[in-house]
Structures are given as C-alpha cells and as structure tokens.
Amino acid sequence: MMTFADYASVCYVLAYAADKASNIMREKSKKLARSAILLAIMMILIYLRTIVPGYQLAFYFLASLVLGIIIIEYGPKQGIIFTISAFILSLIMPIDKILLLLFYSFFGIYGLIKHLIEKIKSRILIMIVKLIYFSIVFFINMYFAAIFTGIVPAIMLKYNIWIVFGISLVVFILYDIMYSSFSDFYINKIKRYIK
C-alpha cells in the first residue's frame, strides 16, 4: 500500500514532467511564432521590391537579412526550412517569377551559403570561396535571364559584361561586409532582448 509520501513523490514527478513538457511546447510555440513573423516580414520586403521603384536591391538585401536572423536564432536546418517555406509562399505572390528565381538563387540562400563557407578556418580561403560562389551565380543568372526573358539584360547592351561583373563583384563584397556587420550587431545588441 502506498503511503502519503509515495503519492506526493509520484505527484511531484508528474508535475515536474508536465512542467518540462509545457516549457518545451512553449519554446516550440515561440519558435514557430517568431519564424512566422519573420516570414511575413520577408514576404513584405520581397513584395515592396516590385512596387517601390529604385530600391530593388535594398529590399532584396533587407529580405536576405531575415534569413540571417533565422540562422542565428535557430540554426542552419531551420534556415533551410525557412527558405523553402519562403520560396513556396513567394510563388503565390503577384510578382515576376523570373525576378523571384534570381532573388532566391543568390540573396535568398546567401545566409545559408555564408554560414557554411565561414566554417573554413582560413580567412583568405573564405573570401576566395565567396568570390567563386558569386561568380558562378552571377554568370548563371545572366545566362538564365537571357534565356527566360529572350533578351540580354539591358545593362549588358550598354556596358561590357566584364565591367558589369567587376562592379557587381565590388557590390557583392560590400554586401557581404554589411551582412556580417548586421549579424554581429544582431548577436551583440539585439539577440539578448529576444526571449
């Protein structure tokens, strides 16, 4: 026959287990809610790119930072899930699908690529791999832009492709520096306030 102390012990263990389960569910709910909010912000930024002229790259840059927040908060696996979700949701938005593919081929996945590349120990090798990645994506995007739109991008008609590539490379390096600065700022100044 169980004594009162035995009942109390069982009740304590059950209460402890329920509390732990509740905390786990609470954390999962927070993670889901934050991810949904960040997904909505990313979709708004991608949509604004289509309706606010002159700031297309700025909106793409800001949208790509959202993925950086997901990776910082929840890791690269959640970043992959987030990117796939964002891509699928973007497909139903009333925006140019070619531009959408160009966005996801570079900006949309850059946070994940950057996270993987920066695991390399050598800073020089990191920069070389980033530049190779950018070069490959640049030329693939130019090729597909010409195929799907039937025209060479207007900027290519006005300037030599190597001049455009060189300028784009400088812009990419600045983008990478700003992305890193934002990530550091988020980790050091903002992350601690998000509980």
Residue where the block lists tokens 């949208």: 63
Global confidence as pTM: 0.79
Alpha helices in 52-190, H assignment, sequence order: 56-74, 76-91, 97-105, 107-117, 123-149, 154-158, 161-185
Sketch the domain layout of the chain as residue ranges: 7-193
Q: Which CATH number fits domain 7-193: 1.10.1760, 3.30.420, 1.20.120, 1.20.1300?
A: 1.10.1760
Which tens digit of pLDDT belongs to each residue from 57-97? 888 899 999 999 999 989 999 999 999 998 988 888 888 88
pLDDT digits (tens, 9 = 90+) for 74-84: 999 999 999 99
